[in-house]
Amino acid sequence: MTDRKQYKGRYRPTNPQKYVGNINAIVYRSLWERKFMVYCDTNPNVLKWASEEIKIPYVSPIDNKYHTYYPDFMMIVKTRDNVEQKYLIEIKPKKFTALPKSPKRKTKSYVNEVYQYAVNESKWKSATSWCKKRNIIFKIFTEDDLNIK
């Protein structure tokens, strides 16, 4: 049996001056998020970063009500052209970035996955619009982007 605690925890940055927000409240909810935190913290081209510090309103297609979306990361990077660019990053398993394939029998698990995908799609649509108005690039990273097998 796997100990779930190993996949969640507090992150202590080695470069706290780069973190935007409360450095005592940085929490990772997966090893992928932790890996990305280490990248942001130690990469000299990442000038500033934050974890779940941005709030974006969205309407859930499930209940048609407003909710708040907290994207996983915000980061400001120095590009190769020596320009500062801001990114909003969501980290998700690749299987959650596409509509689940319909099984022969509609199980409760399948219905939940469809609902979750619809909610995620609504969050990401709102985030894309929110970012576009602020000259921020919104990206969804999967295990492929993080080089995790």
The answer to whether the beta carbons of residues 26 and 11 sit under 8 Å apart is: yes
- Answer yes or no: 92 catalytic: yes
Q: How confident is the model at residue 149 (pLDDT cuts 50, 70, 90)?
A: low
- Answer yes or no: 63 catalytic: no
- Answer yes or no: 84 catalytic: no
Active-site choice (18, 41, 72, 90): 72
Is residue 53 domain-resident?
yes
Q: How confident is the model at residue 148 (pLDDT cuts 50, 70, 90)?
A: low
pLDDT over threshold 60, residue 129: yes
The answer to whether the beta carbons of residues 79 and 53 sit under 8 Å apart is: no
The answer to whether the beta carbons of residues 67 and 60 sit under 8 Å apart is: yes
Q: Are strands 73-78 and 84-91 parallel, antiparallel or unpaired?
A: antiparallel
Structural domain tally of the chain? 1
Active-site choice (18, 33, 90, 123): 33
Q: How far apart are CA 34 and CA 21, in angstroms?
A: 17
CATH number at residue 21: 3.40.1350
Active-site choice (92, 113, 139, 145): 92
pLDDT over threshold 70, residue 128: yes
Is residue 38 domain-resident?
yes
pTM above threshold 0.75: yes
Is residue 147 domain-resident?
no
Note down the domain range covering 67. 4-141
pLDDT over threshold 90, residue 104: no
Is residue 149 domain-resident?
no
- Give 3-state DSSP helix, strand, coil % of the chain, rounded to 5: 35, 25, 40
Please tell me whether residue 39 adopts helix, strand or coil conformation.
helix
pLDDT over threshold 50, residue 81: yes
pLDDT over threshold 80, residue 3: no
Cα distance between the two ends of the chain = 20
Listed residue (85, 58, 59, 60) closest to 74, CA to CA: 85
